[in-house]
Structure 1
Amino acid sequence: MQATIDISWLTVSLFLLTLVIPAAINAYFRLKLGKEIVTAVARMTIQLILVGLYLGVLFELNNPWLNIAWLLVMVLVGASAILSGAKLPKRALFSPLAIALSAATFPLMVLLLIVLLQPSPFYSAQYLIPLAGMLLGNGLSGNIVALQRLFSAFSEKKADYESALVLGATPRQAAWPFVQSALQQSQAPILASMATTGLVTLPGMMTGQILGGTDPMIAVKYQLIIMVAIFVMLSISVTIALLLTLRVALHSTGYIAIKQLSHE
């Protein structure tokens, strides 16, 4: 297998000139996304370079406490990003989201690192950080979809919810169909992706390994494990996030608390 081909920064800079195409589309159709495009590309470039430099140091030091601290930072930033994406108040829901992500990520990381992959040492930053990043990164969109779906249901189906309360249902029982719908919506994209992986798409992890010179069947094994881990992590985190969010939002006052939380 061919070794990984390095790319010079000059080549990378020249390739970035292809951004002229989306910029031209933005100008022609008057999408007014110029500022957002420039900001997104600039932030992505700066953040990736800084992370690359930091991870280089992190891999070299390979200190377990630094690795765990970085993992905690990833979880906290992920919780904040979910609430920002779902446009929900961080003050009330940050803790439930952080708990949900932690409860889903940490046990799976233990299973992946200690039982399956067994790197030496088991806390190796080379494995811990990228795997945690893939789990959390893929869990963000699912949690955003779930929370948006949950709170939009209280707005769109307010009559159904209040009717259930009038008929004697508890707030939790009245909201249960909304939780079920949110879970279904959040899992639909990952299930569709899993169903077409290998036939329609080659995921980033597998593609990166193959480009890096890894045997295709070894890349397949890694991809199979990580896809299952992502699905399990998403299922656990979304379920816990919905249940804890519902508990915070409803407590003992039913729809009024949901309405106040949604507009906080």
Structure 2
Amino acid sequence: MGALDLSIFSLASFLIFLVPVFYINRHLGLEINKTMITSIVRMCIQLSFVGVYLEFLFKFNSPVLNTVYLLIMIAIACQSILKSSNLKLRKFFIPVFFALLFPFTIMLFFFNAAVVRIDNLFEAKYMIPIGGMLLGNCLRSIIIVLNNFYSGIRRDEKVYLYSLSLLCSRIQALKPYFRQSFLAAVTPTMATMATIGLVSLPGMMTGQILGGSIPIVAIKYQIAIMFSIFYTGYFCVILSVLFSLKVGFNALDVLNQDIFVSKV
């Protein structure tokens, strides 16, 4: 037995709650009503297109199409990460792309091959949803680590340069900034893992139960996906910093100031 279908009217019924939301925003002087409407419309349109396209992907189940779709997802994720990190896209796109690609690919195929044990590792109904969950959960961690790392060095550049003047290597001088930004990036995921099942019932588990799976099977899938999310995010965070050092610093180990997006 699958999940019950939802009518358009059922989904539209949620719009009634916008009335008090808009009233409160207006009363508090929060000029975000237009932004909210734009976000809601974009969400509905984007998810509708994705639904149609996924039907196409699942029907043809082509390894080439599935792979191309995931690469496009990674590219879009990179753009979102760099935009949120205030770092220039043309300088950091390639380092961040490969920092995402390597751990993401390894964990995705490990999940399909060793955990779920499907014959076709490019099976669309596994490859696309699992890949989307891995990427979506990596975004925040990479944004945090890149933003904290480079903004921290920019803010304390004199301290960093002083460390270099004491004959420290670049790695030694950067270690305190990396440690701080790394902890900030991975702590939210660890906190989620520590409270999962007690504070919230996560998406994978909920989807499995609504789809008709018994709770114990849903729990097994959720544990597997949480392992995958944690490992993917962990290694993506490390590689995103390591791969970006070449463009982030010049030959003299000084921070390149032209990597930041200027705020008007």
Tell me the TM-score normalised to structure 1 length: 0.95
Cα RMSD (Å) = 1.4
Provide the rounded CA distance (Å) in 1 between the counterparts of 2:95 and 2:194. Answer: 31
Encode CA deviations 1:204-226: one digit per residue, 9 max, x unaligned: 11112112221000000000000
Give the secondary-structure state (helix, strand or coil) at the position aligned to 1:235: helix
Call closer, same or farther: CA 1:205–1:103 in 2, change over 3 Å.
Answer: same
Of 200-209 and 117-126, deviating more is: 117-126
Paired residue type of 2:104: T
Please name the residue that 2:84 is paired with: 85
Encode CA deviations 1:54-94: one digit per residue, 9 max, x unaligned: 00111011011101110111111111110011111001000
8 Å Cα contact 2:154/2:255 also seen in 1: no
Instruction: Give the paired residue count.
Output: 262
Paired residue type of 1:222: Y
Of 172-181 and 17-26, deviating more is: 17-26
Provide the rounded CA distance (Å) in 1 between the counterparts of 2:154 and 2:67. Answer: 40
Unmatched tracts of structure 2, length 5 or more:
none
Encode CA deviations 1:2-48: one digit per residue, 9 max, x unaligned: 64111111111122322223222211211111121111111100000
Provide the rounded CA distance (Å) in 2 between the counterparts of 1:133 and 1:16. Answer: 27
Please name the residue that 1:218 is paired with: 217
Please name the residue that 1:69 is paired with: 68
Paired residue type of 1:5: L
Give the secondary-structure state (helix, strand or coil) at the position aligned to 1:255: coil
Provide the rounded CA distance (Å) in 1 between the counterparts of 2:171 and 2:260. Answer: 17
8 Å Cα contact 1:172/1:250 also seen in 2: no
Paired residue type of 1:152: S
Please name the residue that 2:259 is paired with: 261
Paired residue type of 1:26: N
Call closer, same or farther: CA 1:101–1:256 in 2, change over 3 Å.
Answer: closer
Paired residue type of 1:4: A
Identity %: 34
Paired residue type of 2:218: A
Call closer, same or farther: CA 1:145–1:178 in 2, change over 3 Å.
Answer: same
Give the Å deviation of 1:256: 4.2
Give the secondary-structure state (helix, strand or coil) at the position aligned to 1:7: coil
- State whether structure 2 residue 247 is matched by structure 1 residue 244: no
Give the secondary-structure state (helix, strand or coil) at the position aligned to 1:169: coil
Call closer, same or farther: CA 1:256–1:113 in 2, change over 3 Å.
Answer: closer
Paired residue type of 2:177: F
Of 208-217 and 185-194, deviating more is: 208-217
Please name the residue that 1:105 is paired with: 104
